[in-house]
Amino acid sequence: MRVSLLADSCTTGWLHWGHGELWLTPEHLVRIGRRELTLRAAAKGGALGGAAVAAGVLGLRAVSAAEKALDEGRLRPGDSVEVENDLWAREVGRHPQRTLVLSRELMTEADLKTGIITSRLNLEMVDGRRHKLLWSVNEHAASLLTEAFGPRLRRS
């Protein structure tokens, strides 16, 4: 399965300081909270890159490759990687309290606002639940979301 990293420093609201990765899969939008990203953001004033999922699901050899790519600045938001479904499911299920999995099929509204510093995605689900996702502006996330959501995505 091909997954795309939308953001390597995503929070779920202005008052939530926990950082995580935001991934787009063929069927879901997935935010995985990462303590190391929160600590890095707090210590340095912003996340410097994540992609811990890529390292976790690509296997031991790929872990070094992913870390090396990250260190060299090659693994960034907008990048896509191929992962095995069972490894992805295991990684996503590892910390359910820090993971948000949203089915793209169950989203009724999606509103994307790109500001000077931050992008915000407000989502409404068929059951009426609402979710907010915030991340540092990057052109790749807006492009991938526009392609994935089509006319359901409103830009404001």
For the domain that residue 45 is a member of, what is the CATH number? 2.30.29.30
3-state secondary structure at position 120: strand
SS3 of 55, please? helix
Number of folded domains in the chain? 1
Placement of tokens 């879901």 in the chain: 28
CA atoms within 13 A on the CB side of 133: 29
**pLDDT of amino acid 47:** 37
Which residue type sits at 11?
Answer: T
Alpha helices in the chain (DSSP H): 35-44, 52-57, 60-71, 85-93, 139-149
Q: Is the pTM of this model over 0.85?
A: no
What pLDDT was estimated at residue 95?
80
The parent domain of residue 77 ranges over: 2-155
The model's pLDDT over 36-48, given as tens digits with 9 standing for 90+, comes to 655 555 555 443 3
| Alpha-carbon gap, residue 30 to 25, rounded angstroms | 8
Contacts of 31 (CB under 8 A, 6+ apart): 10, 12, 20, 21, 22, 23, 99, 100, 133
Which is higher by pLDDT, 91 or 5?
5
Return the pLDDT at 33. Answer: 81
- Pick the residue with more confidence: 15 or 3? 3
